[in-house]
Copies of this chain bind each other. A is one copy, B any other.
């Protein structure tokens, strides 16, 4: 059993294979190779020459196109998968059935149903299933999560994210499935307990005729009257990576391209006075006051997020604890993606979410019928 192998202590590195030598694979190779927690044994790709090229002429890591050999290798404790989403289910199931822990590039799977099968398999086998939602491990998102969870921001009012650039038009997925997983997983990771997405509306456009949306706007209604919104876009001439979060006490801006000042906290906002304090006659104006205080940008380290992903994966394998971005969290991301796709097909009509209880109650999830019913009254 895998978990027994883990007991051997932190001294023995975890044997690892990377599957997929395409866009993201080389980053996994570099970071696993740089980690003292892992021994990188294999780089596997259906095109072996691509794996050889990625490793370069000076590497002792083995390249292969034979996944069976990798899965049969007893030295391999874990698999990191960086292949197209459509292949995640089969690859990850095979890996888990061979007793390997699994890290999967986002999104967890091509559908919510596939993702659910992976989560259930991991539960059954007692293996770590982690989704590589890399952005959740950036020092910026960790800082934001801390600021939101500690109450420094106050109640969440709005979350607005812009992730646009001249992007690669993907052959298999639209811009929503390509870019929004980042924003959804970030939102998921920073939401305080008790606040959750309730429904999704999405609008897309395919003005250049690729057969899939290249521009999309996604709106989520959250508990408590808050709103979240993402703009994802492959056709933007400039690259923008900003997330603005408004709260009852403070607001913050994360500009991921501003290295000198990635996260800025603003003591600025609009406050409502309780009605009894407002004068009778001039109530409407007295009602509202404005804070325009200082701005603070906390010092944030510049650690590569993927190195933290690798470390989290190691720690979860060693300890058995669920990761910040475990399978279940990957599943909530898929829920929102699927609902957004459905809304887009319905010209933007809001669609309620399956996963809105976030496991905080023992109640069974509402059936599709119940959801539809909620939808009509939402």
Contacts and interface: CB of A to CB of B under 8 A. Distances in A.
Interface of A: 33-34, 40, 56-61, 155-158, 160, 166, 169, 171, 199, 201, 203-210, 214-215, 217, 219, 221, 224-227, 229, 231, 233-239, 244, 246, 248, 251-253, 257, 259-261, 266-272, 284-285, 287-288, 290, 292-299, 347-350, 378
Contacts of A215: 157-158, 227, 246
A251 B236 contact: yes
Contact of A266 (B61, B158, B225, B237): B237
Nearest to A293: B299
A300 to B, nearest CB: 10
Contact of A59 (B60, B217, B221): B60
A35 B369 CA distance: 59
A227 B205 contact: yes
Contacts of A234: 270
A286 B226 CA distance: 43
Contacts of A219: 203, 217, 348
B207 A235 contact: no
Contacts of A288: 169, 210
8 contacts: A205-B227, A207-B226, A208-B248, A214-B270, A219-B348, A237-B269, A296-B296, A347-B378
B207 A158 contact: yes
B347 A233 contact: no
